[in-house]
């Protein structure tokens, strides 16, 4: 069953859609949430939350890529869960770094949101021009929160080469954004 058929089940309010989505994208999404939360049970809860959110938002939404749609919902749920879990620790000064900014500003001011929209568009533009294998490494690292070692293992590359790709992509992205007037 392809994405369009599964989305069709969502649109018809057929609960089989949830099973199909779980079977197709559950492992991917739970793994990503686990990368963020470090707890498989919490990660599964996040994916359940994402499925519930998808159930409520399709329709009116009709995602072309259901996997990406669910992955984004799961990521948001996991980041929210991380923020809640670490709210108490903020006061104590214990703050894991990677998610600090991702979790700190859930609703930016309108001007800031506009700026961020342009910034995201520019980043997507930059990535579009990259070879696929580099884009995949970038997305695995920054969207899926995978470690360099795990990326290397999954892509059958050496960790050194993955690190080198990430370093060069970051440098290239910074230059690209500065040339387009973004202040970093």
Partner 1 sequence: MNNEKLYALAGELDDRFIAETMKPRAARRRYLRYAAAAAALLLIFGAAFGVAKAEREGGIRAMRNLYKDLPEGYEFMSELTVPKDAVQPESSAYYGGSSSEYERSYTFREAYQEAYAVCAVSIGDYIGRNEWSTDYNATVERIYKGDLPEEITVCQYVHGKRPTPFHYGDKLLLFLRESRREGYTNAYEVVGADIAQMYLAAAHDGSVYAIDFSGLMSLASYESDEAGYPHNLSELIVDGYPDPENAEQTENGKALLRELAEYLAKTDPGLDGAYMCYVFEIGEIERLFAEFE
Residues in contact with partner 1 by CB under 8 A are: 23-25, 28, 63-65, 67-69, 71-72, 75-76, 79, 97-102, 105, 116, 119-120, 123-124, 127-128, 131-133, 135-136, 138-140, 142-145, 155-158, 160-161, 163-165, 168, 170, 173-174, 177, 184
Could you tell me the end-to-end alpha-carbon distance of the chain, in angstroms, rounded to an integer? 44
CB nearer to partner 1: pick between 13 and 175? 175
CB nearer to partner 1: pick between 19 and 139? 139
Phi, psi dihedral angles at 133 (to 5 degrees): -65, -30
Q: Which of 33, 15, 122 is nearest to 76 (CA)?
A: 33
DSSP secondary structure, 68-124, as one string: HHHHHHHHHHHHHHHHHHHHHHHHHT---STTHHHHH-SS--HHHHHHHHHHHHHHH
Q: Least separation, in Å, of the C-beta of 141 and partner 1?
A: 8
In sequence order, which residues have a C-beta less than 8 Å from that of residue 163 and are 6 or more positions away? 148
Q: Least separation, in Å, of the C-beta of 14 and partner 1?
A: 20
Cα 7 to Cα 2: distance, rounded to the nearest angstrom: 9
CB nearer to partner 1: pick between 87 and 95? 95
Q: Least separation, in Å, of the C-beta of 27 and partner 1?
A: 9
CB nearer to partner 1: pick between 42 and 63? 63
Q: Least separation, in Å, of the C-beta of 101 and partner 1?
A: 4
CB nearer to partner 1: pick between 55 and 182? 182
Other CB atoms within 10 A of residue 53 CB:
17
Q: Least separation, in Å, of the C-beta of 83 and partner 1?
A: 12
């Amino acid at each position: 069953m392809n994405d369009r058929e599964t989305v069709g089940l969502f649109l018809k309010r057929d609960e089989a859609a949830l099973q199909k989505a779980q079977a197709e994208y559950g492992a991917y999404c739970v793994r990503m949430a686990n990368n963020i939360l470090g707890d498989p049970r919490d990660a599964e809860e996040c994916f359940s939350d994402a499925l519930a959110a998808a159930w409520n938002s399709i329709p009116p939404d009709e995602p072309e890529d259901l996997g990406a749609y669910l992955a984004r919902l799961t990521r948001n749920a996991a980041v929210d869960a991380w923020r809640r879990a670490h709210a108490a620790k903020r006061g104590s000064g214990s703050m894991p770094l990677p998610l600090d900014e991702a979790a700190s500003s859930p609703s930016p001011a309108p001007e800031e949101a506009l700026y961020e929209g342009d910034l995201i568009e520019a980043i997507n533009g930059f990535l579009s021009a990259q070879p696929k294998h580099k884009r995949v490494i970038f997305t695995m690292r920054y969207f899926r929160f995978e470690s360099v070692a795990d990326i290397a293992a999954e892509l059958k590359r050496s960790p050194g080469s993955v690190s080198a790709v990430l370093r060069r992509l970051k440098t290239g992205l910074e230059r690209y954004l500065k040339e387009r007037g973004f202040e970093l």
